[in-house]
Structure 1
């Protein structure tokens, strides 16, 4: 929500979230206006061996300009980090739908996550590797830039230090950060993927608690935000992977309710209302005179139009539903229906029915009962 596309790299949209738009000036002020320039200038001197005049760097508006350049450079580095993930994923045929920069860094939205431990390991490490290369490149540039350009030396030194520092931090096994994904990849070598995710998520929650404590008692509000993100993301991905595991091996044809009540498109709403009372089912599949499925109609149509004897079901039926195929894996179909309750089901050519999210819930309930019975035996 509130993401703005600012560029495209390798066909991947680069988006900036509103949180970063608000935070970037604050970060620029933190770097350039709160004494941080003196701290980083000292570190850059140690790294580069080039003496920096702090008073010159802070004179007039120089501090805020340097802070802005450093902040923009930092998030440009984050973009390179995420492109590292995207490049490694593309190597395995996995595309990236977008890279989003936000207040806590960046997110590369992969179309799917690899289940092979080796591939996940490569993709997870590709981002930190890109950051290390960026840091080394900035460090090498320090020996090319003349000492007469202290502002450039400062920004390059800042980026060299922060890229390496953030890489080390990002490799902490706090799932779903990169280090957490590395941990899952190693765990998945010797145990089921769902179990590996569950363990990595628990480790992530432990780190989230640690981040929260340090942020609370150390006066670091950004760590509190990171703790909230790690906690919610770790638990969320653990649930998604568990759900995928339960639906593994099932297709849409195993989920769809073929006995869902139907109604002809040329039936009046008044007659449909009586049908609802008789069937005790609010939503009905709508078919045309040829028997083809053309849409879905429910109580919402009756609420909007009433029991109008002059209005036909076909006139008010919902016909713009997404489409899934009978042979689509159940989990993939459920993911495609993320924001809708119903979808058309096709046999590859014609629409043959409608599937509901509740159908997946019924299958999951049966699967859960089956697993418990098998465990009891």
Structure 2
């Protein structure tokens, strides 16, 4: 995810923090300082950090359960509205999907139980009304929020965990695309409700959550529909076959001219025998031209060399999984390693639109 940076690897997943998370800390600290001075600001900032540690634990609940079914989690990103575990894919077996979805809220329930039973963080209904203040004790507030996270995430609407459970149950009676569509509609209904509540109560966080829920629900529905259509398509049917390539010794000036006279966003770099050495993206080229580097440096010095390759008969669904790893393109090569074409997210989307998916 752009505008995020890694703070380390935990249990095989890259833990990332989005820069806007620090805006949340600054806002919480300023608001608390205005009401309770420096001690209140420090306590609320520490509370937010503790809360997001619980959010990270929630996401690792999903990740570790998914790992049991052979599904990796490349990274987990902390956002102002929560955490996002990027699983390579969701299990399509309904029971496994339910297990992965429930693992996150289960972690929050365990944390809540530990805080209440072991640390004596008793809670009452009255505490819910003042959860955003320093009135209740630190551990009390943390216990309340963990219970709230577990309950809120079980709302049967995408992209919450309850939406995935809802989708899995629907899959018992209908196909996955239809089940996802209904779960996404439920998610967008919930988003409208959250947005209305946020605008009525002057709560910008609720509005932000509503926007995220609405967009994520729609994206999930489109992704599942695309994957269903991709099962019937091979790499040879989706690849770009007419393209301009570069030589490894070509300069940035040569690449810049290629960008101007073509519509390509990425350029394969081929050796004299036509074998793929890497890809030069427009983003990498623009960054190099805007920096202090010479326009006469070779394109091979800024090329992306870790390019996944597939054969002509590889299924497009497998190509989509590969593209989700962050590669700019997937190369379609012969057995001898010669490039015959390549596939990007953009041309997969165009193919699905043209096929009426």
TM-score normalised by the shorter chain: which range applies?
0.7 to 0.9
Aligned residue among 188, 197, 201 for 1:214: 197
| Alignment partner of 1:347 is 2:312 | no
Gaps of 5+ in 2: 123-133, 248-261, 283-297
Is the partner of 1:94 in helix, strand or coil? coil
Larger Rg, first or second structure (1 or 2): 1
TM-fit CA distance, 1:188: 1.3
Name 2:309's counterpart in structure 1.
324
Question: For residues 31 and 191 of structure 1, do their structure 2 counterparts lie closer, same or farther at Cα, with a shift above 3 Å needed?
Answer: farther
Bigger drift between 23-32 and 98-107 goes to 23-32
Q: Normalising by the residue count of structure 2, what TM-score does the alignment of the two structures yield?
A: 0.73
Question: For residues 352 and 126 of structure 1, do their structure 2 counterparts lie closer, same or farther at Cα, with a shift above 3 Å needed?
Answer: same
Gaps of 5+ in 1: 35-57, 146-150, 266-280, 301-314, 372-377
Name 2:18's counterpart in structure 1.
17
| Alignment partner of 1:245 is 2:222 | no
Bigger drift between 228-237 and 66-75 goes to 66-75
Q: Is the 8 A contact 2:159 2:184 kept in 1?
A: yes
Please give the residue correspondences for 1:108-147 in structure 2 after superposition, counting only pairs within 5 Å.
108-143=85-120
Question: For residues 206 and 141 of structure 1, do their structure 2 counterparts lie closer, same or farther at Cα, with a shift above 3 Å needed?
Answer: same
Question: For residues 6 and 128 of structure 1, do their structure 2 counterparts lie closer, same or farther at Cα, with a shift above 3 Å needed?
Answer: same
CA offsets 1:319-377 (integer angstroms, 9 cap, x no match):
86734311432133245457887643123541240134476457535643xx8xxxxxx
Question: For residues 203 and 345 of structure 1, do their structure 2 counterparts lie closer, same or farther at Cα, with a shift above 3 Å needed?
Answer: same
Is the partner of 1:96 in helix, strand or coil? coil
Please give the residue correspondences for 1:297-308 in structure 2 after superposition, counting only pairs within 5 Å.
none
TM-fit CA distance, 1:25: 3.3
| Alignment partner of 1:169 is 2:155 | no
Q: Normalising by the residue count of structure 1, what TM-score does the alignment of the two structures yield?
A: 0.70
Q: Is the 8 A contact 1:198 1:238 kept in 2?
A: yes
Tell me how large the CA RMSD over aligned residues is. 3.8
Question: For residues 25 and 320 of structure 1, do their structure 2 counterparts lie closer, same or farther at Cα, with a shift above 3 Å needed?
Answer: closer
Name 2:251's counterpart in structure 1.
none
- CA distance in 2 between partners of 1:142 and 1:263 (Å): 64
Please give the residue correspondences for 1:194-343 in structure 2 after superposition, counting only pairs within 5 Å.
194-256=177-239, 260=242, 292-293=274-275, 322-326=307-311, 327-334=313-320, 336-337=322-323, 343=330
CA offsets 1:143-169 (integer angstroms, 9 cap, x no match):
499xxxxx9x92222111110012111
Aligned residues: 310
Name 2:125's counterpart in structure 1.
none
Q: Is the 8 A contact 1:95 1:110 kept in 2?
A: yes
Name 2:139's counterpart in structure 1.
156
Name 1:95's counterpart in structure 2.
72
